[in-house]
Amino acid sequence: EIVMTQSPATLSVSPGERATLSCRASQSVSSNLAWYQQKPGQTPRLLIYGASTRATGIPARFSGSGSGTEFSLTISSLQSEDFAVYYCQQYNTWPYTFGQGTKLEIK
């Protein structure tokens, strides 16, 4: 099983600032990596797939990068609605696995 490790567990950032979240895979997942956003009491929402392609309707301030085992999600200028939990997921190899999540909170 591929283990996905996200860091940090919690990230405190002020609105308007830049946030960078990291995700590491225990073995290569090529570019088969997705990022999801989940707000309290809500369903997960796909942000990025293929490591760097924004999903439909996702603002340009969200960007993803990386391949192989190292990935990152960057939010260029944080808006109030961006404070949430973010999960990475590999869909390269069964069983599909999620990271444990990074909670992005207001500083």
Partner 1 sequence: EVQLVDSGGGLVKPGGSLRLSCAASGFTFRSYSMNWVRQAPGKGLEWVSSISSGGSYVYSSDSVKGRFTISRNNAKNSLYLQMNSLRAEDTAVYYCARSGSGDPHDAFDIWGQGTMVTVSS
Closest CA to 20 of 97, 82, 81, 80: 82
Asked if 99 touches partner 1 (CB under 8 A), the answer is: yes
Asked if 31 touches partner 1 (CB under 8 A), the answer is: no
Asked if 83 touches partner 1 (CB under 8 A), the answer is: no
Q: Which stretch binds partner 1 (CB under 8 A): 11-19, 32-40, 66-74, 76-84?
A: 32-40
Asked if 68 touches partner 1 (CB under 8 A), the answer is: no
Asked if 37 touches partner 1 (CB under 8 A), the answer is: no
CB nearer to partner 1: give 43 or 80: 43
Using CB under 8 A as the criterion, which residues of the chain lie in contact with partner 1 when the complex forms?
1, 32, 34, 36, 38, 43-46, 49-50, 55-56, 87, 89, 91-92, 94-101
